[in-house]
Amino acid sequence: MSIFHNEGADIWLRDSLTVDSALARATHLGIGAHQDDLEFMAYEGIASCYEKQDQWFAGITVTDGRGSSRTGPFASYSDEEIRNVRRKEQRDAAEIGEYTAQFQLDYPSSELKGEGRSNVTADILAVLKKSRPNVVYLHQPADKHDSHIAVLGCSIEALRQTAVTHVPERVIGCEVWRSLDWLDDSEKVAMVCDAYPNLSAKLYAVFESQIAGGKRYDLAVEGRRRANATMFDSHGSDIYQSVAWGIDLKPLVVNPDLSIEAFILEEIGRLSQDVKDRVQKYS
């Protein structure tokens, strides 16, 4: 019997483990909206666990992939055909990245953003109850993709419900459809992505339906990370080659009275004040 609401939900497990056994050893958990989100936003966690026996990455992908962009060799694929391709790609990424578990919840985007949100939260909660991850990677609140924000809301709600028994050491909001270079430097969470460059390249290449289908996410993500590494400090030499910025979302988990909206608008207010102060200083 599946622990998830959708009959079409896909469960991939390493080493022929049970769900409970696979999640019991998970130290890093990524929760993303789409196939490939985890590989592009949570690479720090994947690399931290790669070829380790005491650290393991687990992933949750919420949507079904039916609404994916498709051109070139995938232009004629039906919604069902592209769903199947994307599901296999995510499984292949889990195999290459040596995840302990990968769950694909199979929700249409319309359901995620509508009446199905309570079920999404319950499915994420089911995973959290069986695991005690030290680090959780989520979408960030200033992201401009509606599905990403919907998944973030469900994830924060699930984390709040498990906070009585376990709070991860780190809960990080990650860049995808809007970068975080605008954050005040004191607020940035630096996720160094230098490790295993061949692994990151292999993970990117898995998602052929997107890259060959019209979206060069591989080049875009690598370019952003390299820019982050260089543009962070205007005076010092580069220390790292590839850095992804994150934002600390743990305050949203431990303080249920703090809304996601209020949290991120305060961060944006810091940017506004910094720009105002700097311009006024030299006007």
pLDDT tens digits along 137-180? 999 999 999 999 999 999 999 999 999 999 999 999 999 999 99
- Does the residue 271 lie in any domain? no
Identify residue 223 by its one-letter amino acid code: G
Domains held by the chain: number:
1
CB-CB contact of 138 with 61 (8 Å): no
User: What is the reported pLDDT for 211?
Assistant: 84
Angle at 22 between CA 21 and CA 27, to 5 degrees: 115
**Secondary structure (3-state) at 254:** helix
- Does the residue 2 lie in any domain? no
CA dihedral sign of residues 136, 50, 82, 209 = positive
Angle at 251 between CA 173 and CA 43, to 5 degrees: 20
CATH number of residue 157's parent domain? 3.40.50.10320
Identify residue 233 by its one-letter amino acid code: D
- Does the residue 163 lie in any domain? yes
Name the residue among 217, 234, 276, 283 with its Cα closest to residue 43.
217
User: What is the reported pLDDT for 213?
Assistant: 65
Burial (Cβ within 10 Å: 0-12, 13-18, ≥19) of residue 67: middle
What's the per-residue H, E or C state across 235-269? Answer: CCCCCCCCEEEEEECHHHHHCCCCCHHHHHHHHHH
Q: 7-38, pLDDT tens digit by residue?
A: 999 999 999 999 999 999 999 999 999 999 99
**Structural tokens at position 112:** 């995620």
CB-CB contact of 10 with 87 (8 Å): yes
- 């599901």: which residue's tokens? 87
pTM: 0.95
User: What is the reported pLDDT for 68?
Assistant: 82
CB-CB contact of 183 with 267 (8 Å): yes
Enter the DSSP assignment of 14: G
- Does the residue 5 lie in any domain? no
| Per-residue model confidence as pLDDT tens for the chain (283 residues) | 589 999 999 999 999 999 999 999 999 999 999 999 999 999 999 999 999 999 999 999 999 989 887 778 888 889 899 999 999 999 999 999 999 999 999 999 999 999 889 999 999 999 999 999 999 999 999 999 999 999 999 999 999 999 999 999 999 999 999 999 999 999 999 999 999 999 999 999 999 988 876 678 889 999 999 999 998 876 566 788 899 999 999 999 999 999 999 999 999 999 999 999 999 999 8
Strands, DSSP E only, in the chain? 10-13, 28-32, 57-63, 101-107, 135-139, 170-174, 188-192, 243-248
DSSP output for 169-219: SEEEEE-SSS--TTS-GGGEEEEE--S-HHHHHHHHHH-HHHHTTT--HHH
CB-CB contact of 212 with 73 (8 Å): yes
User: What is the reported pLDDT for 235?
Assistant: 57
What's the longest Cα–Cα distance across the chain?
A: 66
Neighbouring-strand partners of residue 60: 31, 103
CA dihedral sign of residues 225, 230, 233, 238 = positive
**Structural tokens at position 249:** 């979302």
Strands 135-139 and 188-192: unpaired
- Does the residue 168 lie in any domain? yes
- Does the residue 273 lie in any domain? no
- Does the residue 24 lie in any domain? yes
CA distance 278 to 283: 9
- Does the residue 172 lie in any domain? yes
Q: Domain range for residue 115?
A: 10-257
User: What is the reported pLDDT for 1?
Assistant: 57
